[in-house]
Amino acid sequence: MEKYSQIEKIKYEGAKSKNPFAFRFYDPDRKIAGKTMKQHLKFAMSYWHTINASGTDMFGGNTMDKSFGLSGMEMYKKKADVAFELMQKLGIEYYCFHDVDISPEGETLAESVKYLDEITDYLLEKQKKTGIKLLWGTANMFGDKKFMAGAGTSPCADVFAVAAGKVKAAIDATIKLGGTGYVFWGGREGYDTLLNTDMGLELDNLARLLTMARDYARAKGFKGDFYIEPKPKEPTKHQYDFDVATCANFLRKYNLLGDFKMNIEANHATLAGHTFNHELRTARVNGIFGSIDANQGDLLLGWDTDQFPTNVYDTTLCMYEVLKEGGFTNGGLNFDAKTRRQSNTYEDILLGYIAGMDAFALGLIKAQELIDDGRIDKFVEERYATFASGIGKKIVSGKETLESLSKYAMDLKNVEADSGRQEYLEQILNTVLFG
């Protein structure tokens, strides 16, 4: 297999290609339903996994050294060079980061802000040279010891204040780099036992932090979206942003709808006991679909494995939701994914991205085929046809009452819904995928 340094830009070679460093399905300029694949998919690189994660697990240390023998700002600049080189090799046009992924964490907030200012100058130059853009930024408010009991939900007001300062700095960095999104993943915003937790105050405080962030960023002219990234557990036993429905309720209660949408991660969906497409659909029907953290978990493991997505059923059903939504606006597909501990070379990172990008490209192609095939959409339309005329239409238009419906239903006989035909529909899906 070729070595990383010998590999130039990854090209599309078609499904028959045996070249490991080529795309089989991702053909960036191919048009699907009027837009190029590149425009549909808006792939992004996750800085934390790609540039920093080093293969450690609970039982062992690094299997991959990503320090380049350097330290401090010098190392972070080298990391930025590698990040942009990787994105260029892959033809990825966006990236996402946490503050501490791109520059060192200082002993004080002031020191961290200074580093962040310096590295964002450097990144901005690179963006200008390459045309690569920032999809979203965020602040890491879960790694440092001070955040052990949460950031916005910490029982300590000084921790809350430092968190607010970090959010301000990360928003400044996001705006400076032209990012179109700002993410809040709950981190340690949750609890392990109610015996030590004031849940009401913690939720109110979390909403206070999000509201301050919204107000600050809007005052600075930020036009992008804020996202909450739902996750049910890990690191805390019970995360406050459990799933999309929980987050929708939170946003509604605290008047944050409109500014905040969802960044939906596949592996978080399955941890919550949902399918990926359930979470996407729930966001859509609540008008809060925003962006996607593309990855997959392992059904036999109960934690967030953050694997590169290769399951084409999932990518197809995901892209079906994205197409039905009319595509991304400020969001995109961020590969919140890392290679396995044993896949510990830069070639593996390229192979991981190629596999993920191809799986989503194929998902996009198949999702459009599913829509063009039309049988599933038609089936769903017909299944609810009784609400398009007669009494159903009157129910939908709000003209009926309990009394009027009681009168209508009084003498009805043999009332039943038609078959749901699940097996028939699953067979259609298989035919579109493999036929």
* Enzyme catalytic residues: 98, 101
Quote the longest CA-to-CA distance of the chain.
82
* CB nearer to ligand XUL: pick between 27 and 229: 229
* CB nearer to Co ion: pick between 225 and 336: 336
Task: Calculate Rg over the CA atoms of the chain.
Answer: 23
Residue 306 near Co ion by CB under 5 A: no
Q: 182 is in the binding site of which of ligand XUL, Co ion, none (Cβ under 5 to 8 A by kind)?
A: none
Residue 265 near Co ion by CB under 5 A: yes
* Residue appearing with tokens 């048009």: 31
Q: Per-residue DSSP letters for 309-362?
A: P--HHHHHHHHHHHHHTTS-SS--EEE-----TT--SHHHHHHHHHHHHHHHHH
Smallest gap, in angstroms, from Cβ of residue 219 to ligand XUL?
Answer: 24
**Residue of minimal Cβ distance to ligand XUL:** 185
Smallest gap, in angstroms, from Cβ of residue 143 to ligand XUL?
Answer: 10
Q: 261 is in the binding site of which of Co ion, ligand XUL, none (Cβ under 5 to 8 A by kind)?
A: none
304 contacts 297 by C-beta, under 8 angstroms: yes
Residue 336 near Co ion by CB under 5 A: yes
What is the contact mask toward Co ion in residues 31 to 70, using x (rule: CB under 5 A)? ----------------------------------------
Written as six digits, the tokens of 208 are 């206070």
Q: 24 is in the binding site of which of ligand XUL, Co ion, none (Cβ under 5 to 8 A by kind)?
A: none
* CB nearer to ligand XUL: pick between 172 and 189: 189
Smallest gap, in angstroms, from Cβ of residue 246 to ligand XUL?
Answer: 16
* Residue appearing with tokens 């890491």: 140
Instruction: Give the range of 37-45, 165-173, 283-291, 335-343 binding Co ion by CB under 5 A.
Output: 335-343
User: Can you state the angle between helices 199-219 and 157-176, rounded to 10 degrees?
Assistant: 30
Q: 304 is in the binding site of which of ligand XUL, Co ion, none (Cβ under 5 to 8 A by kind)?
A: ligand XUL
Residue 243 near Co ion by CB under 5 A: no
Written as six digits, the tokens of 164 are 């607010």
What number of other Cβ atoms are within 10 A of residue 211's Cβ? 15
Residue 279 near Co ion by CB under 5 A: no
Residue 138 burial (C-beta neighbours within 10 Å; 0-12, 13-18, 19+): buried
DSSP state of 393: H
268 contacts 286 by C-beta, under 8 angstroms: no
Smallest gap, in angstroms, from Cβ of residue 183 to Co ion?
Answer: 8
State how far the Cα of 330 lies from the Cα of 323, in Å rounded to an integer: 15
* CB nearer to ligand XUL: pick between 243 and 304: 304
Written as six digits, the tokens of 66 are 């990503």
Number of residues that this document lists for the chain: 435
Q: Per-residue DSSP letters for 403-419?
A: HHHHHHHTT--S--PPP
Question: What is the contact surface with ligand XUL in residues (CB under 6 A)?
Answer: 98, 138, 183, 185, 229, 231, 265, 293, 304, 336
Q: 27 is in the binding site of which of Co ion, ligand XUL, none (Cβ under 5 to 8 A by kind)?
A: none
Tell me which of 293, 314, 321, 347 binds Co ion, using CB under 5 A.
293
The site for Co ion (CB under 5 A) is made up of 265, 293, 336
